[in-house]
Amino acid sequence: MKNPWRWPQVGFNLCVCILLVALSGFAIRAETSVNFSGAWHQDLSRSVPPAKSNNLRDLDIQHAGNALTVKVRTETSRGVRTLDLTYEIGGRELVYTGLDGDEFHTKVRWQGESLVFDTIEHERGSEIVSQQVWTIAGGGNILREVKRRKSDGQPAESVAIFQKSVLRPSR
């Protein structure tokens, strides 16, 4: 005996598949609609908790597709220090030596319209696990960086605010 519901079920399944593919494409476009490119200057007065030092960070970010290049510049008592990083969003882990001489292992991924940096820092024989979340706010003029990590076994969170500069910093 033939199943009279077979063709309507196949049609229904096909419609569901097409709808899921369409929605997944929309979700991918929504995730990548934010662009982090620009010259960003840290506003220490809006840091939480207040910064322990007056070492401002400048970020020069180039963001195109899954390629993210970040040039970090800071002035310390030892002079101007810079760090050039090239991440692959949703791709391979980047291993690099930070400004403090520690080794970092970082992967970057999308979470909605935010970029998430999952990092393991190798410092004097121990591993420090942290996560930074970058979000654009203020009509595209504010970069908010929330960093979560365990410090002395206790969870800690800090927020750094960067203002977009009209002029790119000189390097």
pLDDT along the chain (171 residues), means of 10: 54 47 45 86 86 80 98 90 97 94 96 97 89 96 94 84 77 48
Residue 134: per-residue pLDDT: 98
Going across the sheet that includes 154-164, the strands are 79-88, 67-76, 57-64, 38-42, 154-164, 142-151, 126-137, 114-123, 103-111, 94-97
* Same domain for 24 and 92: no
Q: Is residue 171 part of a domain?
A: no
* Same domain for 47 and 24: no
Residue-wise pLDDT tens digits, 68-82:
999 999 988 889 999
Q: Is residue 2 part of a domain?
A: yes
Residues paired with 20 in a beta bridge:
none
Q: Is residue 86 part of a domain?
A: yes
* Same domain for 92 and 117: yes
* Same domain for 149 and 100: yes
Nearest residue to 121 (alpha-carbon basis) of 156, 95, 143, 146: 95
* Same domain for 104 and 143: yes
* Same domain for 21 and 57: no
Enclosing domain of residue 58: 38-164
pTM: 0.76
* Same domain for 137 and 72: yes
* Same domain for 129 and 93: yes
Q: Is residue 169 part of a domain?
A: no
* Same domain for 67 and 21: no
